[in-house]
Amino acid sequence: MRSKRSLLLKVITYAIILMWIIFTIGPLYWLLSSTFKPSSEAIGYPPTLFPKNPTLQNFKNLFTASRFNFYSYGHSFIIGCGAMFISLLVAMFAGYGLSRVHFKGKQIVMTTILLFQMVPILATLIPLYQTFSRYGLYNTHLGLMLIYATQTAPMNTWLLKGYFDTIPYSIEEAAQIDGLSRLATLYRIALPIAAPGLSASTIFAFFKAWNEYMVALTMTSTVRPYTVELYRFIGEQGDVDWSLLGTAALIAVLPVFILFSFFQKYFIIGMSGGAIKS
Amino acid sequence: MNLKKVILLIAVAALLGTSIFAAGAKEDVSKPKEVTLTIYARAYTFAQDAPWVYAKAELQRRHPDINFTFIEEGFGWADMRTKFLTSAAGGSPPDVMMTDIIWLGEFVDSGLLVDVTDRVAKWDEWDDVVDAYKDATYWNGRVYGTWLNTDVRVLVWNKDLFRAAGLDPEKPPKDWNELHRMAMQATNAPHYYGFGFPGTLEDESVMKFYANLYSNGGQILTDDNKKAAFNSPEGVEAMSALIDLIKAGATPTSIVSGKASDIDNGVFQGKFAMASMTKAYGLARDLIPGITPEEYKNRFGLAPIPHAPGGVPATMSGGYLLTVPTGSKHQDLAWELITIAAGAENQFKYTAARGYVPTFKSLMARGADYVEVDPFFSVILDALPSAFFRPSIPEWTEISAEVQNVMQALILGRMDVKEALDLAAKNVDKILSE
Amino acid sequence: MNLNKNQKETIRGYLFVAPVLLLLFLFSLYPLFKTIYFSFFDIRLASMNRKVFAGWKNYRLLFTRVNPSFFSQILPATVYYVVGSVAGQIGFGFLLAILVQQKFVKGREAIRAIIILPWVVSGIIIAISWRFMYEPRLGVLNYLLASMGVGNPPTWLNDERLVMGCLVVANIWHGMAFSFIIQTSGLHSISDEVMEAALVDGANGFQRLTLIIIPLVRQFLVLNLILTSMATINSFDLIFAMTNGGPMFKTEVISVQMYHRAFGFGRLGEGSAIATIILLMNLILTIFYMRMNKNQSEGGDG
């Protein structure tokens, strides 16, 4: 009786997981398959599940004939890394301070920081644009880095605070008795222990910046990240050439998937240790 | 003392932060020999030699003492407007702006464009501009730019689909009744449909309605531009001519999210047998690489837009001016670039290659040269006398949006034509009375 | 300077949080105040220098406009999108987190890696690939329906009754991963002994879920609710690139409407007023969740 029920449980579990995996992969597969179809096949009726005449023509067209600017991936990468660095730096200090230093108004500061998470970025766009134009941050990597770092800093502060909270006081006290200053304790003792949490924040901050579109469209002219370039490309191509569009999209996604597959393990571990235990 | 270190670190960080801000503050005054010109234009204009590649080279040739850097920003129609307004709001507009003629009143009234009345007077090609087009560059008695091109909408049909439906590939429909019948006959859903028109919220969608409206003797606004006039009985018939195609199944309801470019491309890709559009030849060449004029002529046809039964031929015109935004730091050089880009020589190359319409008298006389490039150019030129312009008043964008809104409801069959147009008219009157 | 130990700690604490606060004040709070200020002016994107005080006019315009109407179009669209997305993301995230966590599941790491993938895909790319799936003529969905013999397949994004559902599905596809991660963390925090004890007690699956697991991971669920709700209300890219609010404003959620008024029509004052309303919605929702959480935990302790 019991084993029958647990077998049924197993079957259902696997079935649901499998269905979700198909659901997850489906759109990605559709994108992938279209990149290998000649454009006559991609827009022909009826659609084909597998490319009938697989071709690399789309890649060739994208690289040679189209006006797609591949530097945009470079801009995205620089901006992503910068935003990640700034966000992590400020979140690390704040997270440590909120976790380890007892001071008046701490609770208010913590809540305030979290509340910033709900500011819609669109609502701040025009004033930011004015400020940026005035101080020469318009169309710079730094400008976008600062905005994106602002977007992820609250969440990362909380994440890292949660992580620092799990470090037993005794370890740190021992370190301080050894004569290490507060900053040195943070650097030498707390950070290594909080490394998984740190890696989660890193990924979080990087991908937020990597994927953003609206701010980038408004704040850049020549250093446009790939999302803006891709959107411009849609505008230029319309629904003309799904396969070419799909190819450009795939090129944007693939390196990120590979990178992320390496780091996703730390991401889950990181989120699980840190995620806000208030 | 560790507290000191913390203070020190923060101080350094703050210093660094402010110095970054300070460093960003203007550095333009340094060398007059380095000039950066930013151009906002439709993305497709950068993809070919005319106008920009030629114009940039010529400007550089004329000023060997200046080292030019050109920043080219290409956009879709709606994004170009948004980006320009945003850039003006932030105080860093481009040096050259490709302004849709319908935005002219709005931009000028907002103080965004430089008055070039004195400059055009000194430009030797200005007298060559066709008078009607010259008039359109004026707003409140002053000139604010010159035409890159104008355009005119014509019917384009796919001869292969006509043949497949048993229709004579050389005989396009003349009026709405013929259009309806032939569109029905050419439909083979879901493979392809007889007639396509765009339904997204953009001006191009309602242009199809406006053309029908003028053909049927109606008009968009009253003569003084103070009230809506499109909800007249003529207007109801004009809109019904489009909506009936949907009801009959000759046009799919999915066009409700179809942009004009999707529909136009669809004719060349065999998704629609017919649609009315501009720059047909340019699209055909984009979509079918290496197509020859001969092939183009065999596979597609151009004709005037079908008119109302018993009505007059009518079509809509639009087009772009090249303008200098007020915030530009190099207004003289920007204007010089414009006069090269939009001069007759460049305009010939640009308009002929894309199937647009020139604005110079000297080019109008070169019909034979155009036909050499585009076999159907005479159809385009012949349609010019029946072309209408939309009023380029400041409220235009909002007015047209009201008509676009109800048009979507009509496409999806959620409203009655009369009721929909009355609702739009009510909203338009409200906007105009403010 | 003679400071006692407490005062020194306080200064030290503020020094630690100073950088993040500086960043937030400069790039979030200051522009936000400016936006709220703008919302009381008749101000246009094209002519920012000519602003006229307008009182509550911009707010009145939002609530009285006929097409799109706030109460019969924008608000329902927003609620549908937010509730659908949040429920779907957290519901499926929680369910899958539990299932994948089961001891007998093999290849857990690989499954997780796949499930999380959509999270790193940009909204623009999601829009491209899902529009491609929903395309009535070329899309794979109608192809599958046709091969199953469905004669009159739906037009998905072009059908105003289905379009919002289509967007919600695409958004769940994208955002579920984030909830999955948070819920997985939550389940990690429950010790195996507790789980097993529940099993031995003969608690069946459902009871185990409601009586033991949910109370233990409640903190994670609330956090998830807050973050996901805010992100969904503020989100814009996906709808913008997929439907741009259409057809017939069926997907004109409030953030898209804000964009259209402020940037499309250049009515910055109106756009700012809508932004302020979005902020208020976020605030109310957060307070509501926190209250709910507080009441729950007090009740649970009693």
Spell out where B62-126 has E strands. 67-75, 96-100
- The Cα–Cα gap between C185 and B315 comes to 63
Token duo for residue B307? 């008119």
User: In 3D, which of A255, A158, C8, A233 has the Cα closest to residue B44?
Assistant: A233
Cα–Cα separations (whole angstroms), residue B308 to B12, B173, B204, C153: 75, 11, 20, 35
Percent above pLDDT 90 for chain B: 62
Which residues 6+ apart lie within 8 Å of B254 measured at CB? C136, C137, C155, C158
Contact B284, B296 (CB under 8 A): yes
Residue C299 pLDDT greater than 60, yes or no: no
Q: What is the largest CA-CA distance in chain B?
A: 95
Looking at CA atoms only, how far is residue C157 from chain B in angstroms? 8
User: In 3D, which of B150, B149, B146 has the Cα closest to residue B324?
Assistant: B146
Q: In terms of pLDDT, which residue wins out, B3 or A31?
A: A31
Looking at CA atoms only, how far is residue C62 from chain A in angstroms? 16
3-state secondary structure of C49: coil
3-state secondary structure of A205: helix
| Other beta carbons less than 10 A from residue A260's beta carbon | 19
Phi, psi of B432 (to 5 degrees): -70, -25
Token duo for residue B271? 């998704």
Contact B44 A236 (CB under 8 A): yes
Does residue C33 lie within any of the structural domains? Answer: no
**What DSSP string runs through B226-281?**
SSB-TTSHHHHHHHHHHHHHHHTTSS-GGGGG--HHHHHHHHHTTSEEEEEES-HH
Whether the CB of C11 is below 8 Å from some CB of chain B: the reply is yes
- Residue A277: the pLDDT is 40
Amino acid at C250: K
Residue C198's CATH number: 1.10.3720.10
Contact B187, B194 (CB under 8 A): yes
Domain that holds residue C152: 55-301
Contact C148, C59 (CB under 8 A): no
Q: Between residues 80 and 139 of chain A, which touch chain C (CB distance below 8 Å)?
A: 86, 89-91, 93-94, 96-98, 101-104, 106, 109, 112-113, 115-128, 130-131
Spell out where chain C has E strands. 41-42, 52-53
| H helix or E strand, kind and range, residue B34 | strand B34-42
- The Cα–Cα gap between C229 and C288 comes to 12
pLDDT band at C301 (very low <50, low <70, confident <90, very high): very low
Percent above pLDDT 70 for chain B: 93
- The Cα–Cα gap between C48 and C42 comes to 9
Chain B residues with CB-CB distance to C16 below 8 A: 6
Whether the CB of B4 is below 8 Å from some CB of chain A: the reply is no
| Other beta carbons less than 10 A from residue C44's beta carbon | 22
Which residues 6+ apart lie within 8 Å of B63 measured at CB? B333
Does residue C13 lie within any of the structural domains? Answer: no
CB-neighbour burial class of residue A7 (10 A; exposed 0-12, middle 13-18, buried 19+): exposed
Average pLDDT, 10 consecutive residues per value, chain A (278 residues) = 74 93 90 83 76 84 79 91 94 90 87 86 86 88 95 88 80 72 76 76 86 87 86 66 80 81 70 48
| Other beta carbons less than 10 A from residue A255's beta carbon | 11
Task: Sort strands B67-75 and B34-42 into parallel, antiparallel or unpaired.
Answer: parallel
Does residue C124 lie within any of the structural domains? Answer: yes
Residue range B51-71, pLDDT digits in tens: 999 999 999 999 999 999 998
Looking at CA atoms only, how far is residue C289 from chain A in angstroms? 13
Does residue C128 lie within any of the structural domains? Answer: yes
Please tell me what DSSP assigns to residue B304: P
Question: Half-sphere exposure of residue B381, counting CA atoms within 13 Å on the CB side?
Answer: 20
Phi, psi of B155 (to 5 degrees): -80, 130
Contact C31 A271 (CB under 8 A): no
CB-neighbour burial class of residue A150 (10 A; exposed 0-12, middle 13-18, buried 19+): buried
Q: What share of residues in chain A are helix, strand, coil (percent, to 5)?
A: 80, 0, 20
Does residue C94 lie within any of the structural domains? Answer: yes
| Other beta carbons less than 10 A from residue B344's beta carbon | 16
Does residue C122 lie within any of the structural domains? Answer: yes
Mean pLDDT over the full length of chain B: 88
Q: Can you tell me the mean pLDDT for B16-34?
A: 52
ipTM of the complex: 0.85
Which residues 6+ apart lie within 8 Å of B385 measured at CB? none
Q: Can you tell me the mean pLDDT for B178-184?
A: 96
| Fold that domain A71-274 belongs to in CATH | MetI-like fold (1.10.3720)
- The Cα–Cα gap between C13 and C17 comes to 7
Does residue C196 lie within any of the structural domains? Answer: yes
Contact B271 C137 (CB under 8 A): yes
Domains of chain B: 34-150+318-385 (3.40.190.10), 154-317+389-433 (3.40.190.10)
Q: Which of B259-263, B315-319, C237-241, C271-275 has the lowest mean pLDDT?
A: B259-263
Question: Half-sphere exposure of residue C154, counting CA atoms within 13 Å on the CB side?
Answer: 13
- Residue A275: the pLDDT is 44
Looking at CA atoms only, how far is residue B398 from chain C in angstroms? 7
Residue range B353-408, pLDDT digits in tens: 888 889 999 998 888 888 888 889 889 888 988 999 998 898 998 999 999 999 99
- The Cα–Cα gap between B318 and C150 comes to 44
How many separate domains does chain C show?
1
Phi, psi of B193 (to 5 degrees): -125, 160
